[in-house]
């Protein structure tokens, strides 16, 4: 039986909020599209949203087509910064992924724009540990649909998802998978199937959550 673990990215594998905030402020302040600079707390509260959701939250008074164009430029600037500065890889990620790779197919599904996951993998040289990935920016689909795309594309008989927000949990359950909450991340979750307080705890928790599928 082929089993897989699908990961969220921001708030689960790393924290790039400071880098993203800097990049977005470069665009939004330059064109006076916001009255005051974004801070990391504001950006953190929105992590995991799709680009249209970001547009509504930040530029709600602007026609959606225009706001999406602006945020598209933010994302392009973001990739430049990410490639140069990266973010904070959570403790134990590389070692734990190497160990999990022996028994599981490892994938990433994020609501980011296309290129973001690739920049993460390149910056930390983690490409050999991740078998597949998918994003909102590539498919235009929300996380539940992308989770199923990755599950089916990799022929996974069983899979679970690891993320840090309630939306991650809701999308995972909508896709029919079990959810492990990365409680060290950006959000609180009311109904996870498992909880980890550091990434290194995942090896101990994952087997028990897979047992729930039997």
pLDDT tens over the chain, length 214 residues: 899 999 999 999 999 999 999 999 998 887 777 778 889 988 888 887 888 888 888 887 889 888 889 888 998 999 999 989 999 999 999 999 999 999 999 999 999 889 999 999 999 999 999 999 999 999 999 999 999 999 999 999 999 999 999 999 999 999 999 999 999 999 999 999 999 999 999 999 999 998 887 6
Q: How far is CA 155 from the centre of its chain?
A: 22
> Which residue do the tokens 């190497």 mark?
98
Spatial CA neighbour of 97 closest among 6, 176, 30, 16: 6
CATH of domain 3-15+88-211: 3.40.50.1000
Instruction: Indicate the fold that domain 17-85 takes in CATH.
Output: DNA polymerase; domain 1 (1.10.150)
Q: Where are the domains of the chain?
A: 3-15+88-211, 17-85
The structure's pTM equals: 0.90
Neighbour-count burial for 156-182, b at 16+ CB within 10 Å, e otherwise? beebbbbbbbbbbbbbbbebebbbbbb
Query: pLDDT at position 214, please?
Result: 67
């Amino acid at each position: 039986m082929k089993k897989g673990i699908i990961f969220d990215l921001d708030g689960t594998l790393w924290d790039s909020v400071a880098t993203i905030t800097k990049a977005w402020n470069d665009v939004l302040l330059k064109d006076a599209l916001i009255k005051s600079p974004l801070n990391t707390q504001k950006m953190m509260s929105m992590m995991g949203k799709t680009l249209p959701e970001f547009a509504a939250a930040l530029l709600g008074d602007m026609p959606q087509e225009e706001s999406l164009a602006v945020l598209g430029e933010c994302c392009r600037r973001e990739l430049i910064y990410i490639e140069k500065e990266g973010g904070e890889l959570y403790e134990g990620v590389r070692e734990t992924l190497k160990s999990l790779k022996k028994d599981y197919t490892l994938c990433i599904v994020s609501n980011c724009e296309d290129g973001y996951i690739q920049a993460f993998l390149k910056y930390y040289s983690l490409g050999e540990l991740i078998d597949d990935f998918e994003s909102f920016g590539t498919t235009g689909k929300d996380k539940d649909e992308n989770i199923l795309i990755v599950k089916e594309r990799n022929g996974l008989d069983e899979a679970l998802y690891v993320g840090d927000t309630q939306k991650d949990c809701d999308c995972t359950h909508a896709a029919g998978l079990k959810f492990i909450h990365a409680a060290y991340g950006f959000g609180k979750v009311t109904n996870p199937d498992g909880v980890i307080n550091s990434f290194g705890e995942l090896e101990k928790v994952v087997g028990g959550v897979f047992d729930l599928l039997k």
